Amino acid sequence: MSEALQTAVARQRLLLRGRLAGLLERLALQARDDWPERASLERLLAEALPNLPSCKYLYVLDRSAHQITANASPQGLLPEHLGRDRSDRPYLAEALAGERFSLSPVYISRNARRPSLTAIQRIEDESGNWLGFLGADFDLRELPLTRELYQPSGDWVQLKGDPAIRGGLFSQQRVESLMDARIDAVLALLVELMTAHGVFHGKLHFSSSRATLWTLDDPYRYRLLDYEDLADPGICLAYPRRDYPSEASIPESRVADVFHTFRELRFMDETIYLRSGSLNIFNGMVGLNFSCDGSHYMPWHEFLRKSLGFWLGTGEACA
């Protein structure tokens, strides 16, 4: 997980912990007065549930993590969970180790198969003796989070591909595709679509001679162009004229440089070569997938600084 994503997740967990810890602690104080009477505890859980509107289940466990109440749910009490042994569930590990309050990592629930998390509050008597646990399960989509979309760092990311493809790399060589035969015209067409016709994300699949495009006018659906489409410059008539966005991270004048570099990577070697390349003008990220099935995502300016020698491992200087 990237550092930016880790930070965003940690911030949401911190907010959740702050919201839930006080509520469950107060409920645990009330539960000790009814301990261990099942009927009294279930009545307490049912009355408390409306104060936790995002809670899916509330329940009480004894010291060995065996359930001594039904699940209290918005639909009522669910007695089939009575007696359930939860001691092997990961969300109880911290509580069984002595934590007074713990908030589990997000997990996929057994029944609904949805992202969920569980808060566990230790229940103690007035002398501080450990009685059991109060458990609260939450469906992630129901939690009152800020839901701020995290911002990726934009750093270069390298990902390994299929081991089977990497293992057979040197027994293969590039076969000229239809796009290869007209690559200069195809690249010029893509540059035109991205700089003057509202395409903000374009990906060329050189080996299969196709392109996928996302446009400003219809950003939620991509367009698929096959070789016959790409071989006809007249398709520009099907895309409205649009000024190059001022919010773009890559200058308009450098878009062609990125696609020309795709050409160099496609033909740089008969064994190690580019299979597909993409550019998003708003985040300025270039995506690459090579014949070894390795993938790279990097800022456009860093991409243009790399020489062919870098990709081939020969250490050649930039032209």
pLDDT digits (tens, 9 = 90+) for 116-159: 899 999 999 999 999 999 999 998 888 766 556 656 667 778 88
DSSP for residue 85 = B
Report the pLDDT averaged over residues 237-263: 97
pLDDT at 93: 92
The whole-angstrom separation of Cα 278 and Cα 255 is 11
Kindly report whether the global pTM for this prediction surpasses the value 0.75. Answer: no
The whole-angstrom separation of Cα 259 and Cα 111 is 48
pLDDT digits over 283-298, tens only?
999 999 998 878 999 9
- Is there a contact between 222 and 214 (Cβ–Cβ < 8 Å)? yes
**Confidence grade of residue 260 (pLDDT, cut at 50, 70, 90):** very high
Alpha helices per DSSP H over the chain: 3-34, 38-48, 93-96, 163-167, 178-181, 183-196, 227-230, 252-267, 300-305, 308-312
SS3 state of residue 127:
coil
Across 20-24, 151-155, 186-190, which has the greatest mean pLDDT? 186-190
pLDDT at 170: 66
**Confidence grade of residue 318 (pLDDT, cut at 50, 70, 90):** very low
The fourth-level CATH superfamily of domain 3-139 is PAS domain (3.30.450.20)
pLDDT at 316: 47
Q: What percent of the chain has pLDDT over 90?
A: 69
All structural domains of the chain with their residue ranges: 3-139, 157-312
The yes-or-no verdict on residue 259 having pLDDT over 90 is yes
